[in-house]
Copies of this chain bind each other. A is one copy, B any other.
Amino acid sequence: MEQAVPAPTLRRLPRYHRLLEDVIDQPCVSCTQIGRLLKLDPTQVRKDLEYTGITGKPRVGYEVNALKQALEDFLHLNKTDEAFLVGIGSLGQALLGYTRFQEYGLQIVAGFDVDVEKVGTDIHGVPVRDLSEMPGLARRMGVRLGVITVPANYAQSVADMMIEGGILAIWNFAPVQLVVPDDIFVHDEHLYVSLAQLSRRLAQHLARRDSLPVLEKTRA
């Protein structure tokens, strides 16, 4: 059994993977390099990578392909989970169109909504069906992952239906604290939290900027 990973480490690991995938074009890479590119302490990078079980070579660093593979194994990016998405609003449609999710182990195989206009259509190649069919289909197809993109006030009842259908993990985009049994795993994606952080940080940033001597305040 793999040991528990600290949450901050788990947040950084995918960034390393993407860096290797998209940016690094060389056989080996050192923690120093990774750290410079992602603005992280090299020692921290090394500690994080340790969790994947990979070992490097002094003076050389890590073999890029091996490291990429180790990260994929550790993050389970190579095996795809089928998922249902409920709520074909603008966000739901955007997620259906984001094919790159498959590279990260998520394949949305069906969408659901209550809107009769939407039921029966295909969005980005994914069929949309009536919400009432969802629990039965989830059980029949053995789907264990659900994505919730409905308005806040419907989110809890959708979660209940998912659980009824045997779904075990929920990616929740609705701005609500879902109440679920202990054995159900919920991952919240709360854009409003991000936005409030941004709002606060921008205001502080501007305040600091404005309190500075008027050196180069106007760029124009």
Contacts and interface: CB of A to CB of B under 8 A. Distances in A.
B105 A199 contact: yes
A163 B37 CA distance: 20
Interface residues of A, number: 71
Interface in A15-50: 15, 17-19, 22, 37-39
B169 A201 contact: yes
Chain multiplicity (copies): 2
Query: Which secondary structure characterizes the binding site on chain A?
Result: helix
B187 A201 contact: yes
Contacts of A1: 207, 211
A13 B198 contact: no
A193 B144 contact: no
B219 A201 contact: no
Contacts of A203: 76, 79
List the 6 closest A-B pairs by CB distance, nearest first: A14-B196, A94-B94, A90-B94, A90-B97, A76-B203, A105-B199
Given A75-B200, A81-B199, A202-B145, A193 B139 contact: no
Nearest to A18: B175
Interface string A148-161: 00001000000000
Interface in A87-113: 89-91, 93-94, 97-98, 100-101, 104-106
Contact of A192 (B18, B91, B175, B201): B18
A2 interface: yes
Interface in A162-214: 166, 168-169, 171, 175-177, 183, 185, 187, 189-207, 209, 211
Given A14-B195, A75-B199, A144-B206, 14 more contacts: A15-B177, A22-B152, A22-B175, A76-B202, A79-B203, A101-B195, A105-B199, A106-B195, A166-B220, A168-B206, A169-B198, A171-B195, A189-B191, A189-B194
